[in-house]
Chain A
């Protein structure tokens, strides 16, 4: 079966997110003074063939640990999407 998968790679909370911090500082200049906790993340989408959702998830976890996310500074979440 083919699965469409979305992986969101986010910063570990507490680790400096310079991009998020910079965007957060830029918003007040546009008049938005009520915005905080801005963080910028990365979305990876892929399709993979596996026998089951569980097998697909297991493989995605492996790929994230090996390449797609750096556990020192990043966390990730996985979601299944509509195959188009």
Chain B
């Protein structure tokens, strides 16, 4: 079972994600954005950073990297895909999730620890969590303000696709949304960084339940391959 971690020019969280996965006994490999394959992995993480300098719009250019076609195919076939922070921005630009991430409402870069409430456990990132769990997970972003039209919001709510909400909204995000998923629950995007809450030494290991959920989803994916 292997987790692939995508690396664009300007990505800076790929090694943290790799470390966090390996701490939990998983195996992680880096997927260079220029390669048109996900190399047979069982889960894909699109990590945080500033892919292509956030030029034009966050994630706008990264979504056209060759690897993203393979990520799209992998997601369409049911494979677990998690976009963290800039990764969430990339996968919304790529159309794997609806809506967009705007500049924070207060127009300041927010670097803080956020309390997140788990809203559903039917996703690749929350299958081992419990609804109502409050997890302390770092956020670190200038464009984390989730927006979508009224129709999309209604669908997200009706279909149980809001994955985590902020207890104390730090950026003006619609409906306090910190993370959402697709219809099948295998593609999840969230602004907070679970890999930065993966060890008590980091101040919180509340991200472990999310990472373990992803590894469980990857295991499931690996079983379907054999």
> Interface of A with B (CB < 8 Å)?
15-16, 18-19, 22, 67-68, 70, 72-73
Q: Which residues of B sit under 8 angstroms from A16, Cβ to Cβ? A: 102, 105, 145, 147, 172
7 contacts between A and B (CB under 8 A): A16-B105, A18-B172, A67-B64, A70-B57, A72-B92, A72-B99, A72-B149
Quick check: A67 and B60 within 8 Å, CB to CB? yes
Quick check: A19 and B102 within 8 Å, CB to CB? no
Q: Which residues of A sit under 8 angstroms from B107, Cβ to Cβ? A: 18-19, 22
Q: Which residues of A sit under 8 angstroms from B60, Cβ to Cβ? A: 67, 70
Total interface residues on B, CB under 8 Å, equals 21
CB distance from A27 to the nearest CB of B (A): 15
Complex CA–CA separation, A16 to B106 (angstroms): 11
Quick check: B147 and A72 within 8 Å, CB to CB? yes
Quick check: A15 and B56 within 8 Å, CB to CB? no
CB distance from A29 to the nearest CB of B (A): 15
Look across to chain B and name the residue whose beta carbon is closest to the beta carbon of A71.
B100
Question: What string of 1s and 0s marks CB contacts (under 8 Å) between B27-71 and chain A?
Answer: 000000000000000000000000000001100110010000000
Look across to chain A and name the residue whose beta carbon is closest to the beta carbon of B149.
A72
B148 CB-CB contact with A under 8 Å? yes
Complex CA–CA separation, A16 to B102 (angstroms): 8
Complex CA–CA separation, A22 to B104 (angstroms): 12
Look across to chain A and name the residue whose beta carbon is closest to the beta carbon of B100.
A72
Q: Which residues of A sit under 8 angstroms from B122, Cβ to Cβ? A: none
B2 CB-CB contact with A under 8 Å? no
Q: Which residues of B sit under 8 angstroms from A68, Cβ to Cβ? A: 56
Complex CA–CA separation, A72 to B148 (angstroms): 7
Quick check: A73 and B64 within 8 Å, CB to CB? no
Q: Which residues of B sit under 8 angstroms from A19, Cβ to Cβ? A: 103, 107
B206 CB-CB contact with A under 8 Å? no
Q: Kindly list the 10 A-B residue pairs having the minimum CB-CB distance in the complex, ordered from nearest.
A: A72-B100, A18-B103, A73-B100, A18-B107, A22-B107, A18-B105, A70-B100, A70-B57, A15-B147, A72-B99
Q: Which residues of B sit under 8 angstroms from A72, Cβ to Cβ? A: 92, 98-100, 147-149
Quick check: B147 and A70 within 8 Å, CB to CB? no
B89-113 with Cβ < 8 A to chain A? 92-93, 98-100, 102-107
Question: What string of 1s and 0s marks CB contacts (under 8 Å) between B136-149 and chain A?
Answer: 00000000010111
A18-B93 contact, Cβ under 8 Å, with A67-B64, A68-B56: no
Highest count of chain B CB atoms <10 Å: which of A15, A16, A19, A70: A70
B163-203 with Cβ < 8 A to chain A? 172
Quick check: B102 and A73 within 8 Å, CB to CB? yes
Look across to chain B and name the residue whose beta carbon is closest to the beta carbon of A15.
B147
Complex CA–CA separation, A16 to B104 (angstroms): 10
CB distance from A17 to the nearest CB of B (A): 9
CB distance from A18 to the nearest CB of B (A): 5
Look across to chain B and name the residue whose beta carbon is closest to the beta carbon of A66.
B64
